Amino acid sequence: MFPTLIGTVVIAGIVGYIAEKTGFTHNGYLQSIIICVGGAFLFYFVTLMFGISFGRPGINAIVASVGALIIVPTHWRR
């Protein structure tokens, strides 16, 4: 369980960095990483509690991170 949680955080951080580097978001590197890690944590605990999953934990982390970046519209703010 613990290695899965650490892997989720690492994958979410990488997704946040890549999203900012490619121009998918304009939040700033740290903000995008925090959003992705928060979304991945949330989905990880939802998976533990309710068993809702997309398959493997890595895929869950990627989908949750991208979903969090889409849901949190901070790039529209000034």
pLDDT > 90? residue 72: no
Handedness of CA 42, 67, 77, 28 (dihedral sign): positive
Mean pLDDT of all residues in 63-70: 93
Residue 6 lies in a domain: yes
List the domain range (segments joined by +) for residue 56: 2-72
pLDDT-based confidence at residue 22 (cuts at 50, 70, 90) = very high
Residue 21 lies in a domain: yes
Residue 30 lies in a domain: yes
Residue 78 lies in a domain: no
Going from the C-alpha of 69 to that of each of 23, 27, 50, 51, the distances in angstroms are 12, 10, 23, 23
pTM of the model: 0.87
Number of domains in the chain: 1
